[in-house]
């Protein structure tokens, strides 16, 4: 049975066609966030291009472009008759994983420094961000001070 409510759904995509951000970019960033945060588990089969395009009222070419972008980034794999499946991040070699995490950490460190914050604040932000992956904030949860 398809999702009969948000509770069973692995995730919901939202596209705002009035936004200045192109629909392609909105979709790509949401899907990559879901995959990187583990909301979409490894092996999860994404909906077919036509289905997702119809549901969101977008051109199938837009969704196809998103899927190929994700595939190029190593987040999904596409195979004929199997569709598009969330790829395993564990297949990468240790060197590649270390290089990618170092790059991400450097980017984050630069962003924090630009905000004028120190190492303790950065570590605190990482810690909070990490726990939010396991307990995503809901609409009713209190906003951070």
Partner 1 sequence: MRFLANLVLWGLVGVAVLVAFLAILNGKLVTRAWVSRFASRQALAVNPVNGVPVVRALAVINRWRRFGLASGFVLAALWSLQEGRLDFNFTAMFLGWFVGSLVAEWRINPAASGTRRRADLNRRTLASYVTAGNRILLGATLLALAGFGAWAGVVALGDAGVSRDWLGWALTSALGASALWAVTRRIVNRPRPVAASDLMEADDALRGQSLTVIAGSAIALAGLPLTSFVAEIATHLAPKADASATVLIMLVALALGWHVASRSASVRAQATPA
Query: Which one among 42, 55, 103, 121 touches partner 1, defined by CB under 8 A?
Result: 55
**Secondary structure of residue 138 in the 3-state scheme:** coil
Query: Which one among 28, 46, 62, 67 touches partner 1, defined by CB under 8 A?
Result: 46
Q: Is 80 in the site for partner 1 (CB under 8 A)?
A: no
Contact 62, 53 (CB under 8 A): yes
Q: Which residues pair with residue 79 across a beta bridge?
A: 83
Q: Which is nearer to partner 1, 85 or 112 (CB)?
A: 85
Within a 10 A sphere around the Cβ of 32, how many other Cβ atoms? 17
Query: Which one among 22, 29, 38, 54 touches partner 1, defined by CB under 8 A?
Result: 54
Query: Which one among 25, 33, 42, 45 touches partner 1, defined by CB under 8 A?
Result: 45
Largest CA distance in the chain: 51
| Measured torsion, CA atoms of residues 46, 48, 51, 57, in degrees rounded to the nearest 10 | 80
Distances in Å between the Cα of 119 and the Cα atoms of 2, 97, 98, 132 are 45, 23, 21, 20
Query: Which one among 24, 37, 47, 122 touches partner 1, defined by CB under 8 A?
Result: 47
Rounded CA separation 31/9 (Å): 14
Q: Which stretch binds partner 1 (CB under 8 A): 4-12, 69-77, 89-97, 122-130?
A: 4-12
Q: Is 69 in the site for partner 1 (CB under 8 A)?
A: no
Q: Which is nearer to partner 1, 93 or 138 (CB)?
A: 138
Residues of this chain that interact with partner 1 (CB under 8 A) are 1-6, 8-18, 34, 40, 44-48, 50-52, 54-57, 83
């Amino acid at each position: 049975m398809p999702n009969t409510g948000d509770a069973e759904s692995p995730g919901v995509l939202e596209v705002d066609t009035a936004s200045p951000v192109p629909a392609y970019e909105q979709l790509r960033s949401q899907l990559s966030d879901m995959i990187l945060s583990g909301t979409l588990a490894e092996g999860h089969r994404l909906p077919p291009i036509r289905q997702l395009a119809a549901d969101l009222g977008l051109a199938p070419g837009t969704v196809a472009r998103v899927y190929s972008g994700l595939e190029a980034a190593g987040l999904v794999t596409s195979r004929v008759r199997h569709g598009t499946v969330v790829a395993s991040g564990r297949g990468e070699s240790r060197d590649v994983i270390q290089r990618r995490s170092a790059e991400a950490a450097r980017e984050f460190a630069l962003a924090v420094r630009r905000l004028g914050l120190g190492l303790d604040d950065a570590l605190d932000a990482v810690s909070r961000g990490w726990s939010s992956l396991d307990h995503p904030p809901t609409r009713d949860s209190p906003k951070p001070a």
